[in-house]
Amino acid sequence: MELRDVVLVAYGRSPCCKARKGGYARTKMNAIDYTAQVVRGVLDRLPQVKPEMLDDFIFGTAATMNALAMNAGRNVVHRAQLPDSVPAFTINRYCSTGLQAIALAADAIRTGEMDIVMVCGAEDMTNSFGPLDMTHMNQWLLENRPDSLTPMGITAENVARRYHISRRDQDLMALQSHRKAFAAQQSGALARSIIPITLPDGSVQTEDEGIRPDTSLEALAALEPSFLEGGCVTAGNSSQMTDAAAAAVLMSADRAAQLGVKPIARYVGFAVGGCAPDEMGVGPTVAVPKVMEKTGLHISDMDVIELNEAFASQALYCIRTLGLPEEKVNPWGGAMALGHPQGATGIFLTIKALDYLQQNGGKYALITMCVGGGMGAAGILELLER
């Protein structure tokens, strides 16, 4: 069977708001509502595709509870007032959920099972993230594989300690993340794909909230460790808790031509891999080599690299181990400045990478992240001539 080319034809995202105190939390906005606005906003950018033409809607979130409980993807379809004929399902691969949604859609399209698929990811960290109730944890895992339940902050401490990532280097990376993100925000680069969200109080959210242009190395160094007494991982050199949503539309290249849709990028490949759960942050060092081998490409071919900054310690380890050119990594800042809305992050990083290529030139984008439980994911897209 000959596989079809898959192209990404439209995308957009909400502004990233601070969990528990940002725009969505302050106005008590339901996550389904801001996600539905993103879905409608992306479809509005693609007038050739009517909603009833969607073969499927793949939705991802890392916490399928509260507003995003049940089959949340189907609820988003209903709230966005798409036709009942549009099916939906919900997936979860933690931090790589959005990228996984893209890969699943691409697989269905290139094998001929579907023609047009919308992918979407969202996270409501305001209402869905808190301390685990250990009474629900599996007893066998507690006794035999307690490492599989290692809190994410402790995994970051483990990486820092085992691989000699200094506190100063972590804080310096955090500072650079904010500086790069602020520069991108000020230039309007981040606004390219933001879909303004109308809040319940009638105001409109148009910008990401987490960027701190006035932070300094001294301010970051003064922060106390967040997860371990005497540790080096702080709120400043960790990803921010964020509420946000992102979406994209993929289709076969043939269908795009039939509809007169000009593709933005071609889907090239995707890979996942496993690693020790108590140092889950090293996951990209497993996944990136796999996707390079699958696609026949090399890191040197990449023109931009979006490496999720779950924690500075793990991001620095991955940069150094993989030999990633630092000038190509997160040129518009990363999760320490912009946030990490887990279910949306994979699509958000894809959007950021493609926007960067369109503005600055280049061909290939690598999107990669570590994944809770001890995994890594990586995907490659090719920008097409616009």
Measured distance CA(305)–CA(288) in Å, rounded: 11
Q: Report the mean per-residue pLDDT for the chain.
A: 97
Measured distance CA(274)–CA(179) in Å, rounded: 33
Residue for token digits 């507003």? 67
pLDDT (tens digit per residue) in 52-93: 999 999 999 999 889 999 999 999 999 999 999 999 999 999
pLDDT (tens digit per residue) in 88-110: 999 999 999 999 999 999 999 99
Known active-site residue 370: yes
Instruction: Kindly state the DSSP code that residue 55 receives in the 8-state scheme.
Output: S
Residue 101's closest CA among 91, 109, 110?
91
Concatenated DSSP letters of 185-214: HHHTTGGGGB--EE-TTS-EE-S-S---TT
Stretch 155-178: mean pLDDT = 98
Sign of the dihedral defined by the CA atoms of residues 325, 329, 333, 339, in that order? negative
The answer to whether the beta carbons of residues 350 and 378 sit under 8 Å apart is: no
pLDDT (tens digit per residue) in 287-330: 999 999 999 999 999 999 999 999 999 999 999 999 999 999 99
> In this structure, how many other beta carbons lie within 10 angstroms of the beta carbon of residue 252?
20
Residue 22's closest CA among 291, 341, 348, 360?
341
Please give the structure tokens belonging to residue 3.
Answer: 């596989």
* Strand 17-18 with 242-252, pairing: antiparallel
Would you place residue 332 in the very low, low, confident or very high pLDDT band (cuts 50, 70, 90)?
A: very high
Active-site choice (95, 232, 275, 318) = 95
pLDDT (tens digit per residue) in 245-276: 999 999 999 999 999 999 999 999 999 999 99
Please check the confidence at residue 26 and state whether its pLDDT lies above 80.
Answer: yes
Looking at residue 125, its pLDDT comes to 96
Measured distance CA(274)–CA(375) in Å, rounded: 4
Measured distance CA(293)–CA(243) in Å, rounded: 35
Looking at residue 120, its pLDDT comes to 98
Please check the confidence at residue 385 and state whether its pLDDT lies above 80.
Answer: no
Cβ neighbors of 259 (< 8 A, separation 6 or more) are 48, 49, 251
Measured distance CA(365)–CA(349) in Å, rounded: 10
Reported in sequence order, the residue ranges of the chain that DSSP labels E, i.e. its strands, are 6-13, 17-18, 56-60, 89-91, 116-124, 197-198, 204-205, 242-252, 265-274, 302-307, 364-371, 375-383
Residue 16's closest CA among 34, 42, 32, 4?
34
Percentage of the residues of the chain whose pLDDT score is greater than 70: 100
Residue 267's closest CA among 3, 56, 47, 75?
3
Would you place residue 132 in the very low, low, confident or very high pLDDT band (cuts 50, 70, 90)?
A: confident
Please check the confidence at residue 206 and state whether its pLDDT lies above 70.
Answer: yes
Cα dihedral 21→332→95→322 (10° resolution): -150
Stretch 15-21: mean pLDDT = 97
Looking at residue 135, its pLDDT comes to 85
Measured distance CA(132)–CA(288) in Å, rounded: 31
Stretch 137-153: mean pLDDT = 94
Would you place residue 386 in the very low, low, confident or very high pLDDT band (cuts 50, 70, 90)?
A: low
Measured distance CA(374)–CA(276) in Å, rounded: 5
Residue 92 burial (10 A CB sphere; 0-12, 13-18, 19+):
middle
The answer to whether the beta carbons of residues 99 and 346 sit under 8 Å apart is: yes
Looking at residue 273, its pLDDT comes to 98
Please check the confidence at residue 134 and state whether its pLDDT lies above 90.
Answer: no
